[in-house]
Every structure is written in C-alpha cells, then in structure tokens.
Chain A
Amino acid sequence: MAYFSQQLINAVTLGAIYGLIAIGYTMVYGIIGMINFAHGEVFMIGAFISLIGFMICSTLGIGSAPVAIILVLFMSMVFTAVYGWSIERLAYRPLRGSFKLAPLISAIGVSIVLQNYVQLAQGARFKPGGRIVEGGFNLFTADGFDVRVSWLQIVIVIVTVVLMAGFSLMIARTPLGRKQRACEQDMKMASLLGVDVDRTISLTFVMGAALAAVAGMLFLMYYGIIDFFIGFLAGIKAFTAAVLGGIGSLPGAMLGGLLIGVIEVFWAGYFSSEYKDVAAFSILILVLIFRPSGLLGKPEIEKV
C-alpha cells in the first residue's frame, strides 16, 4: 500500500508534465488537424532555455528559489513561444492547401532541424542543472516504507493546475478562445465572419509552445538532467496522452497525461523498467486501433 501510494505520487507528477505537453498537440490538432511532430522538440528547447535561465539567475546571485522559478518560467515561456510562432510561420503556414501529409513531413523536418541545432549549439552531452528545490516531507510510513512527497512535486502539481485552469478559462471565456473554437469548427466560415484565421492559428502555436516550455522547466527541475534528445520520447508519450484523452479535447489531454504517467510509473515499478517505453508505445497503437476518438473525444463522421 505504501509502495503503491509512493508510485501514485510519482505518477501524478510525471503525468502533469506529460499533460502540459499534450495540450500543445491537442490544441494544434483541434484547430488545423495536423500532428505537430516538432512539439516534443519545442518542449526540449523550453527545457534548455530554462537550464540556461537558472544558470543566469545563479550568476546574477538570485538565491531565492521562488523568485528564480518565476523569472525562469516567464523567460522560458516567452522565448519558447517565439519558437512555436516561427515554426508555424515558416514550416506549416505555407503548406495549407498542399497535399494531406505535407505538414507532417515538414514537421518531421523541423524536428530534425531543432534537435541538431541544439546539439550543435550546446553539445551532445547530458546537461545537469535546475535542481533548486530540494527536500520534502514524509506523508506517512507503512510497512516500514516511508511515503515521501517532495516540495518539488508539490510545485509541479500546483503550477500545472494553475496553468490548466487559466488556459481552460481562456478558451471558454475570452474572444481568443471563441475565435479558436470557431476556426476548429469551420475555418472558411470563421474567416468570412471576420476572424483573423492566421493570427488565431499563430496564437494557438504560441500558447502550445508556452505550455511546453513550462513542461520543459518542470522536467528539468524534476530529473535534474537534460540533453538534446529528450523531446523525442517525451513528445511521443505526450502525443499518446493527447490521443488517449481524445485529441482535440483539453481536459482529455490532461487526463491522458495522468494516465500515461500512471502507466509508465507503475509498469516500471511493478513489471520491468526496460519495457516501460514499450508499454507507452503499445498503448498508443492500441488506442489508435480500438478507440481513435480517445476517452473524451467525439467520434468523427466521415463526410462523403
């Protein structure tokens, strides 16, 4: 029971990070129906900007962890968002109206470019850093096993919940959210009604990238080590989360993220850690085969 609780706490933490990345996939898919394959790389860039941000903070002598976190969070969100914006502008926007698979192929290209760009600029080695929140407390002890919650896990969950709530409100209540939903329904009609479709799509990418940046920062703080390749696996797992939850659905992305976190942590904890990624990939395949609309998504009706 104690072991189970500990695994559950770890799973929720990991799931929160996956959920944040998954939102980017889900929003972009919802609005233009493409899998933004480069999104995992955007997350990786966010993690790198956060790493450098934390290092700058310590060079500047900012010792207080909350101040550093808020500063870096802000910086990373803004500068990673520029990546999201640029990618859409350069690699996806010119392809609207091209053949069906063109954006996906272009996205794979972007993903390769970003990986190698960071590898060239920052080197291929693992980068330790971001361990600025230490410690925690014992939740309870049972069967001689301490169930611990670290402060970091609490930070991760709080940041995720606050951002999730904020974004859900934004989509539901603001004009931007309304425009996004309009574009999702019918892009042509929305543009006839005066919605600036290009701008709305750009903003969707910006928002997705900003959330991925947060995930990148939390990932860095949680694992304390990153390299240029982290975006690939994390991206695929987050995409699995988005599909599992029902692609296009924001709560679905979060739910899917949690489930993937749970599956990964429990698989590693109870079966074998070697095959934990196999479990994630298998789930992806099974969900796509048996329930492509996911848990909270709406089934698609084929228009003929």
Chain B
Amino acid sequence: MSDAPPPNVPPLIQVEHLTMRFGGLVAVDDVSFTARPREITAIIGPNGAGKTTVFNCITGFYKPTVGRLTLRTDREYLLERMLGHEIGQQAKVARTFQNVRLFPAMTVLENLIVAQHNKLMRASGMSVVGLFGIKSYRDAEAAAVEIARDWLDRIGLVADADRPAGQLPYGAQRRLEIARAMCTDPRLLCLDEPAAGLNPRESGELNNLLVSIRERDGVGLLLIEHDMSVVMKISDHVVVLDYGRKIAEGAPASVQRDPAVIRAYLGTDDGEEAHA
C-alpha cells in the first residue's frame, strides 16, 4: 500500500488495516482511511463504534493489534511503533480528551507552559543550566509565555491566565484544552468530541477556532464529533464508523446521503442516536 503512487496531495496520516482487539472483543476491525494536511477530517458514528479507540491507537495509548499508522510530515513516522509520549514529542501529534483533562490545580498559563515542556527542557539544558537562571533560558521562557498569551487571546482567557484551570467554566476548559494541545506546536491535532456539552453560542465559537487552526496555523485536524451541525459545517472529509468497521468515507454532503450511514444512524438498534 505505502508504495502506491501518491494522490494529488500526499496524506498527512494514513491509517491502514487498523484492528484493535480487547480479549474477544473487536473494537476496531480493519479500518483504513487517510487525512490530508490543512483539512478537517471528521470521524463520526454511533456510540461504541470504535472512534475513540482509533484515536487511542493514533496517539499511542493503545498498541494496535494489527495495522499501520503512517504520519508524513518532515519525514515518515510509523506511529504504531512509537511509545506513548514519543508520538507527541517527535511525531507532533496532539490530542484532547472526551472528558477534559487539564491540570486543575495549576493555573491556565501554567497549563500552556507545560505543553511547551520539551522545547523549554532543551532551553534549560535539561534543568542544569536553568538552575542558575541563565539568560538564554529566561528568554526561552519569555517566548513561551508570549506563545501562551497569543493562545489565551484567541480563546478569550487572557484575564483568567493566573486562575487555577480547574476553576474555569466548562466551555472555557474545553477551549483551554485545545489551546494547550496547540501549544505543543503539532502537525496533527486530534480532538475527541470538542463540542460535547457546549451551548450553541460556545459551539459556534468553537467552529471558528477550529477553522482558524486549519487556516492560520496550517494544522491538520482529526475530529470525533456527535454534533452533526459542527461536522457538516466545518469538515472537509468525513469517515463513518459503525461497530468498529468503516461504512462510508467522503465529502460531508455525499456521506450525509449515503444509505449505509442513514441506516446506521436511524437503524433499529441505535434509536437514541436518531436525533444526531
């Protein structure tokens, strides 16, 4: 597969034959798809379709049973062979979580500085030089704070910078988590249901933020979403999973009309998803 001639734009991430088994349970079954740079690719599907498992494989939390995950940026990274933290550190894949995972006791600003850990760690000479408060480290820290300030400006949290992150309202926590992921300077950003629990106004703001990440920062996005209005409005490409298998893939409009997708959403045994 990987030797096949590239399509007009080479994919940012290529998922091939991804399979994940837990004991006897097959959570993801032979799923292949691609996501291109500077595009928003949405993965949708009913509850338990295996979307988060795909994410966990891409971001190194699970080791896939079978399959190859190729990320092409400055060079090729085979994600399935990398340890959890190396995927963020070297391959530059960042993610958020379904239930927000901030560092609640640390301040908003500290959350964004921690995200720039590896860069600052080098600047501090693995802490040895930094211990003496050397100027090059102080400059690096000041630069990191400026990056953080930019992001706080974009998510509207400058005034809250020195508050503990755990004290923010829910919607702000979601935005902060995205900003924190972006502070790692990623090539691919994976968002797990970023619109969950947001009100319509916040949801609209989120759309703008995601679009600006695509346009301004040039980062490719991979997005799990239930909220169809978000998916249809901003995504460039949609992958539909059901019971761990891919049942459709394509542009939002074409996927929306796909009979298999309609069956999966309106089908008899997933009635609660019908409203989505």
Interface of A with B (CB < 8 Å)?
301-302, 304
Contact = CB atoms under 8 A, between A and B. Distances in A.
A303 to B, nearest CB: 10
A190 B56 CA distance: 28
B56 A304 contact: yes
A304 B22 contact: no
Contacts of A304: 52, 56, 61, 97
A302 B61 contact: yes
A293 to B, nearest CB: 12
B52 A301 contact: no
A295 B266 CA distance: 45
Interface string B65-102: 00000000000000000000000000000000100000
Interface in B40-65: 52, 56, 61
Interface in B92-143: 97
Interface residues of B, number: 5
B260 to A, nearest CB: 29
The 5 lowest CB-CB distance pairs between A and B, nearest first, are A304-B61, A304-B56, A301-B22, A304-B97, A302-B61
A244 B89 CA distance: 36
Nearest to B25: A301
Contacts of A301: 22
Contacts of A302: 61
B273 to A, nearest CB: 21
Contacts of B56: 304
Nearest to A304: B61
Contacts of B97: 304
6 contacts: A301-B22, A302-B61, A304-B52, A304-B56, A304-B61, A304-B97
Nearest to B98: A304
B47 to A, nearest CB: 15
A302 B59 CA distance: 14
B63 to A, nearest CB: 11
A44 to B, nearest CB: 38
B117 to A, nearest CB: 20
Nearest to B52: A304
A304 B20 CA distance: 15
A302 B84 CA distance: 13
A124 B61 CA distance: 51
A301 B24 CA distance: 13
Nearest to A99: B105
A302 B63 CA distance: 12
Interface in B9-56: 22, 52, 56
Nearest to B97: A304
A294 to B, nearest CB: 17
A301 B56 CA distance: 12
Nearest to B192: A304
A301 B65 CA distance: 14
A189 to B, nearest CB: 16
A301 B25 CA distance: 12
A192 to B, nearest CB: 17
A296 to B, nearest CB: 15
A304 B27 CA distance: 14
B2 to A, nearest CB: 28
Contacts of B61: 302, 304
A301 B52 CA distance: 14
Nearest to A298: B23
A302 B56 CA distance: 10
